[in-house]
Every structure is written in C-alpha cells, then in structure tokens.
Amino acid sequence: MKPNAYKTGSFQALWRPEKHRVPWQLKAALKAAEVWLGTCRPVIIRPRCVSYYFQEECRFKPVVALWHSALVYTLYHFRVYHGAIMTSPSHDGDWVASTIIQWGQFPVRGSRHKGGLKAIRRMAQIMKQYNLGSGIVADGSRGPAGVARLGAVILARDTGSPIIPTGFAAGRAIYFNSWDRMVLPLPFSRVCIVYGEPITVPPGARGLEVERCRKKLEASLHRATRQAKKMIGA
C-alpha cells in the first residue's frame, strides 16, 4: 500500500497538521530520523496479517498493539497508515504526538493514570466514524514493561476490531537506560517485525473474559518479540 493510501475527505477534516505548530527543530529531527531509520533492513513476518485489515474496503481496521520499547521504529514503520494513536498526556508524550501528526496519524492523549478511559472512547469513536485503525502501547507509558494493560482489549471489544500483537527486535541497536529499555536501531542494521495472530474480543466481554483476552495479548506479544529476536539473532 502506498503511504496514506486511504486518506479520505472525512479524515482530512479530522487530521489538520496545520493546526499544530511544530518547531522547525523537531521537523528537522524527524527528517533526520526518517533518513536514519530508512537505512534499516526490515524483515516482516506474516505481513498479510496487517495488510489485509488495512485495505480500504475492510470494515474493521485493526488495533495494533506493541511494547513501549519498540515505539521508535514501529511508529516509523506504520507511518504509511492513517490511524488514531494513544499518546501520553505528559510532557514526554508531546514529542510523540508531534511526530505522529507529521507522519499522518491522529494522536489521542491519555494514559492509565490520566484520562485513559476517555481516550479509549475517543479512539473507538474515531475508528468507527472514519474507518481507521489504531495503535496502542500495551504496557502503557510507565510500565511495568512487558505487562499488558486492558486498553487494547477494551478498544477491540468496543469497536469489533481485531488486535494485532506486534513484536520487534533489532540486530544492532542503542538501548536507552529507561524503564522499558527503549530500542533505537543503528543505521543499516537488520530489524524484524513479527505480526501475531489476530485476537478478537467478544462484544459482551466483561470481567474474567476481558482478563483472559488481556493475558492472551500479553503472551502473544512476548511470543512475537521472541520470534523477532530469533529471526535476526538479537
């Protein structure tokens, strides 16, 4: 699919990058990041798991779930698709929001600690109204790392969309000294993205059924991440 291939008139009314003032320094940094990450050599496992659901005629666009540590390259990778992306309302989340706006996404600010349920409802509304997919960090903006939260499950339940667990690994990378060990692939390194099997959440799921889906998502993300690391020997 070509970048932003299903940009519609209705979405144009929602996505208004000119309304968001982005400092020239950040724009320059984004261009540099595109050049940096564009040198990476990606290996994609089960790409049809995503391409199928992102077809314009597909009724239910996916909820892409990932670990926070994979955020940098995954945001870059998914810049070709429009979608609603949950970003932290904190100051640290500002750069993420500015980045995804420049890459054609629509940020919805919220986290488990502040405005999370409201953000999920807003994302569900956008997905249904504009026939868009979405992206959500499964372990949230503060962790603990590798523990899936309920956000993606609730969003999938309320929209009827499948969750696509997305694993990531880089052959050579910088690992930040942060709670999630954020991964920044080095130029020209091999990277691997693994799409797990889609997870559907019953529309009437509550209580134990929601928890079962959460555990399934968490296990699928760990499995996809292990497979990505194995593929490139990370």
Does the predicted model carry a pTM greater than 0.85? yes
Q: What is the mean pLDDT of residues 183-212?
A: 97
Residue 132 three-state SS: coil
CA-to-CA distance for 41 and 212, rounded, in angstroms? 36
Q: pLDDT tens across 143-185, in order?
A: 899 999 999 999 999 999 999 999 999 999 999 999 999 999 9
Give the 3-state secondary structure of residue 210. Answer: helix
Q: What is the pLDDT of residue 188?
A: 97
pLDDT tens string 60-112 = 999 999 999 999 999 999 988 889 998 877 766 677 787 888 887 888 987 76
Distances (CA, A) of 175 to 48, 107, 153, 179, 181: 29, 25, 28, 11, 6
pLDDT of residue 1: 38
CA distance 231 to 234: 8
Task: Note whether 180 and 141 are within 8 A (CB).
Answer: no
The closest of 83, 48, 57, 67 to 197, measured between CA atoms, is 48
Grade residue 9 by pLDDT with cuts at 50, 70 and 90: very low
